[in-house]
Structure 1
């Protein structure tokens, strides 16, 4: 009975404070679109530089729907997102991913997209 009470107390604390068990976020953030950012990564962390250059080279040919998942699985990124897609021509996506404890962000031009027409619908 005592262990059940303890388990309920721990569960209540974790539910009340979700940050207590959340994975820590990146400690550094690098905007790869800034001049000189990629060169600094090359000097500071050659392993990240190799992964980033491969991501930036191959990301444009990935399907937009699969881009974030591809970065997570192919490069063991802790987090990856490509939610913001600009409706430019050609379309661009804001790619964000975390390698080790560093978050990276870059705008990539998407080449593997097919335009589609969706008719407007009425809201009821």
Structure 2
């Protein structure tokens, strides 16, 4: 039963991601990427600037929902990928037909230790 549920969830996640495939991808962490967005798409630049300015102060579990609703992003996800202090999240979102990615340092998260069971 667990295998069936896992397979169904995986297929739903895959199909949901497939609906939001973007024609272009921009890694905002690469040098000059933000300047190119500012030059080529000022509307996206304004949205990205606000996202990058406010994202560090949002709770990680609310970050992707905030990006989707506040900026009409077609898809947004934020996964914690580094256990550094402060923690960092890989933020991905789609505006129009472009997927943007950036590593965001989270300022509103306190680390906690969970003992193994």
Question: Same fold judged by TM-score > 0.5?
Answer: yes
Q: How many residues align?
A: 102
Q: Which runs of 4+ in 1 moved over 2 A?
A: none
The answer on whether the counterparts of 2:20 and 2:94 sit within 8 Å (CA) in structure 1 is: no
Paired residue for 1:92, among 88, 91, 95?
88
Structure 1 alignment gaps of length 5 or more: 1-17
Match of 2:109 among 110, 113, 121: 113
**C-alpha RMSD over aligned residues:** 1.6
Report what 2:59 is aligned to.
63
User: Does 2:75 correspond to 1:79?
Assistant: yes
Structure 2 CA distance for aligned equivalents of residues 114 and 23 of structure 1: 34
Decide whether aligned partners of structure 1 residues 64 and 45 sit closer, same or farther in structure 2, where only a CA change above 3 A counts: same
Pick the structure with greater CA Rg.
1
Q: Return the TM-score normalized by structure 1.
A: 0.77
Structure 1 residue matching 2:76: 3-state secondary structure: strand
Q: CA deviation at 1:24?
A: 4.9
Find the counterpart in structure 2 of residue 25 from structure 1: 21
Aligned to 1:39: 35
In 1, are the aligned partners of 2:20 and 2:75 still within 8 Å (CA)? no
TM-score (norm 2): 0.82
